């Protein structure tokens, strides 16, 4: 349906459901600095959506965020001043470009069509001609859009990395400086890919049967205890009831590397979140109680692990109901090691955030040292790639706590097929 008001033509043709959901989630994520999964969940739950549309919306939202920097460079080649476009219009053009460059199963004309129609939803802006011209130029790029040389035109080395790997320069600079060129490139490659699918079967009523089925799959990347790592994008034709618990396999690895069966009990999981690491400890019959500052996360933990004692608390100031032999700290961090899972992070974090996080981490570590039993242990875990939040944090703690020693530390290797990277350290207190 088309209507004319004065000299302005606009279209009331509704957006296809997947694009409407993806645009709504992305706009709220980027403009209001909300987590992409939270905004996606909200958009998906607002109306009844076909599972295929839900899957496409999710693929578009996460894919766009992973490649946002590259897409913005492509569009800048055909737009004199992209900043003059209204934010939601600029986002729509970027999403359409993402479809055309990365989603082979969607015809280019379909992406152009919905985006041009959407451009008409802003009366008076007269954007349809611009959308049509720019997106047709994008469609003409073909394989050039996947050629690194295209992104190296008139660019310095750091500028090229920022464009090609779609990652802010402050992050690429930090990784090159901290980890060297080879490892930095491995991290940059990984953050453009989806993470491996991690599953933990502990507590599932059909765990034994499902374990046997999964273990027989030739594509399994790794198995540890009741946990599996499967290739990115793996899906099941029929999800068991209750649903399988998703958990990063790289998070499982870091726990295993810190030898939890050697930890003095009980273990206080002081930044428990939804209980992913608590689940691993309970699988090993380790006496554990848990806390978190977020009530909603604790509620999820209680639903999944009803036998675990929990309490709401700030780990930087909390005094637990009983004295722990070990404190497990899955510290709040910048999340730069799990950009494959949370690609919105790289567009919302700033260097200033890191300083504030390090201060908070140090406060949490200091409190753990006060609360733990004499000769107890502290297990420190982060999901970031920033030495100041990892090795530097632990070194500073050891320097101010006489008698504390570093028993072990470990990091996910740069060539890990999981596309997620964790750091862990086990500290013994004298």
- What per-residue confidence (pLDDT) applies to 82? 85
Supply the pTM of this predicted model: 0.93
pLDDT in tens, 22-74: 999 999 999 999 999 999 999 999 988 999 999 999 999 999 999 999 999 99
SS (H, E, C) the chain: CEEEECCEEEECCCCCHHHHHHHHHHHHHHHHCCCHHHHHHHHHHHCCCCHHHHHHHHHHHHHHHHHHHHHHHHHHCCCCCHHHCCHHHHHHHHHHHHHHHHCCCCCHHHHHHHHHHHHCCCCCCCCHHHHHHHHHHHHHHHHHHHCHHHHCCCCCHHHHHHHHCCCCHHHHHHHHHHHHHHHHHHHHHHHCCCCCEEEECCCCCCHHHHHHHHHCCCCCCEEECCEEEECCCCCCCCCCCCCCEECCHHHHHHHHHCCHHHCCCCEEECCCCCCHHHHHHHHCCCCEEEEECCHHHHHHHHHHCCCCEEEECCCCCCCCCCCCCEEEEECCCCCCCCCCCCCCHHHHCCHHHHHHHHHHHHHHHHHHHHHCCCCCEEEEEECCCCHHHCHHHHHHHHHHCCCCEEEEEEECCCCCCCCCCCEEEEEECC
- What per-residue confidence (pLDDT) applies to 336? 98
Domain ranges of the chain: 2-164, 196-247, 254-428
Question: What is the average pLDDT score of the chain?
Answer: 94
- What per-residue confidence (pLDDT) applies to 322? 96
- What per-residue confidence (pLDDT) applies to 7? 36
The class that CATH gives domain 2-164 is mainly alpha
- What per-residue confidence (pLDDT) applies to 4? 35
- What per-residue confidence (pLDDT) applies to 236? 85
pLDDT in tens, 201-255: 999 999 999 999 999 999 999 999 999 999 998 888 888 889 999 999 999 999 9
- What per-residue confidence (pLDDT) applies to 174? 98
User: Which positions of the chain have pLDDT values less than 70?
Assistant: 1-12, 124-125
CATH topology for 254-428?
Rossmann fold (3.40.50)
- What per-residue confidence (pLDDT) applies to 8? 45
- What per-residue confidence (pLDDT) applies to 238? 83
């Amino acid at each position: 349906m088309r209507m004319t008001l004065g000299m302005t033509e606009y279209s009331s043709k509704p957006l296809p459901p997947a694009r409407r959901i993806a645009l709504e989630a992305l706009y709220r994520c980027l403009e209001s600095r909300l987590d992409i999964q939270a905004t996606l969940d909200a958009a998906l739950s607002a109306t009844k959506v076909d599972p295929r549309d839900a899957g496409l919306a999710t693929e578009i939202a996460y894919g766009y965020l992973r490649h946002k920097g590259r897409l913005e460079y492509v569009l800048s080649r055909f737009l004199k001043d992209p900043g003059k476009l209204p934010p939601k219009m600029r986002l729509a053009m970027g999403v359409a470009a993402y479809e055309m460059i990365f989603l082979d199963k969607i015809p280019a004309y379909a992406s152009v069509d919905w985006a041009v129609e959407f451009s008409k939803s802003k009366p008076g802006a007269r954007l349809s001609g611009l959308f049509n011209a720019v997106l047709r130029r994008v469609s003409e790029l073909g394989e050039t859009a996947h050629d690194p040389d295209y992104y190296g035109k008139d660019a310095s080395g750091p500028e090229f990395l920022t464009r090609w790997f779609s990652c802010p320069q402050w992050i690429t600079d930090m990784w090159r400086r901290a980890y060297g060129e080879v490892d930095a490139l491995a991290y940059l490659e990984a953050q453009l890919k989806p993470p491996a699918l991690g599953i933990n079967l502990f507590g599932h009523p059909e765990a034994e049967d499902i374990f046997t089925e999964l273990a027989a799959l030739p594509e399994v990347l790794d198995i540890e205890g009741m946990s599996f790592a499967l290739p990115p994008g793996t899906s099941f034709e029929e999800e068991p009831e209750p649903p399988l618990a998703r958990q990063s396999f790289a998070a499982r690895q870091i726990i295993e590397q810190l030898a939890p069966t050697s930890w003095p009990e009980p273990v206080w999981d002081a930044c428990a979140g939804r209980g992913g690491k608590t689940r691993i400890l309970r699988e090993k019959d380790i006496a554990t109680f848990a806390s978190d500052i977020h009530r909603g996360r604790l509620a999820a933990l209680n639903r999944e692990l009803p036998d675990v004692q929990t309490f709401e608390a700030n780990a930087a100031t909390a005094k637990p109901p009983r004295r722990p032999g070990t404190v497990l700290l899955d510290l709040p961090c910048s999340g730069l090691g799990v950009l494959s899972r949370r690609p919105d992070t790289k567009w919302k974090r700033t260097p200033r955030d890191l300083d504030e996080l390090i201060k908070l981490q140090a406060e949490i570590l200091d409190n753990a040292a006060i609360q733990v039993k004499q000769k107890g242990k502290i297990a420190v875990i982060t999901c970031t790639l920033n030495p100041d939040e990892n090795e530097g944090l632990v070194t500073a703690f050891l320097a101010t706590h006489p008698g504390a020693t570093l028993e072990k530390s470990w990091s996910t290797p740069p060539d890990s097929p999981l596309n997620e990277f964790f750091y862990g350290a086990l500290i013994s207190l004298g």
